[in-house]
Structure formats: C-alpha cells, structure tokens
Amino acid sequence: MMRSIPPRLRTPLITLVGGAVCAAVAVAAYGWGSLLHLGPVTILGPALYYVWGGRNSDSAAMIRYQVDERQAYRQLKILALVGRVMGGGAVVAYLVAFAAKATLWPFAIFLALFGVATLAGWVIYRERGDGRDDSPGSPHSWLTSGQ
C-alpha cells in the first residue's frame, strides 16, 4: 500500500491520518473546543513534512521512506538511541512513581512494553546458529551440513 503513495506524500499522509484520529478522540472527549489546539498542529505538521521532504538531505530521504544503506543505518542508530532513552525513562518514571506512591499501572505498562519489545526483537532478529561452533564433528555441525 505504501508503494502506491508518492514518496513525498507518505509521511505527511501518515501524520495527517494520525492527527485526525487524535483530533477525533479529543473532540469526543473534550468537545469541539479542543480543535483550537489540535487543528493547527494536525494541518501544519503534514505541511511541514511535505516541504521538508522535498529537500536533498538525509532527513528528507527518511521522510520520503527512500533511504539508502547509510541513511537506513543512521535511522537505525537514531531509533536505537530513542529506544534506550525511552527504556531508561520508563524505568526512572516507574521508580519515581513508586517513590511518590502515585498510580503505578501506566508506568508498569511502559516497563512491560520495554521488556516485551526487547524479547520480541531478540526472537524476530535471531540468527540461525549464531555464536555456535558448526565445524564438522561439533554438536552443531547440522547447521551447515546442508551446504
């Protein structure tokens, strides 16, 4: 589906749909007045992404989902940093909430997500035979016996 959308419109459209969903939730919960705050952000965000996506830069390539291998690697490093900060933040936030005797479950959800995502990443991106001695005669030689 993503491929059928022109590259420059991909992130703006995703942002627009996400913003519209947030705006709908806000209207349902707080009434039409909430659109005064969310409306401009919902419209300006995608517009900014569209303008920025036309540039010749790494960030623009990421916005267009047209990254080459260096940009993909850079994006991965950025995501890894975000993950570390968010994971650390979840732990700190839980401890602060625990110390302040505040409601814990929202922080516990983020902690659990952190753990589940780590486990899922470990399973999804596992490599067959990783770290095992697969030389002939070793217990794991079956890993390469078919080659």
Partner 1 sequence: MRNRVREQRTHRGLSQAELAAALGVSRQTVISIENGRYLPSLPLAFRIARFFDLAVDKMFDPDDEETAT
Candidates 56, 135, 145, 147: give the one binding partner 1 (CB under 8 A): 56
Between residue 2 and residue 31, which ones bind partner 1 under the rule CB under 8 A? Answer: none
CB of 19 to partner 1, least distance (A): 29
The footprint of partner 1 on this chain (CB under 8 A) covers a number of residues equal to 9
Taking CB under 8 A as the rule, does residue 69 contact partner 1? yes
Q: What b/e readout covers 37-76, taking b as 16+ CB neighbours within 10 angstroms?
A: ebeeebeebbeebbebbeeeeeebbbbbeebeeebeebee
- Asked if 63 is part of the footprint of partner 1 (rule: CB under 8 A), the reply reads no
Contacting positions for partner 1 (CB under 8 A): 56-58, 61, 68-71, 73
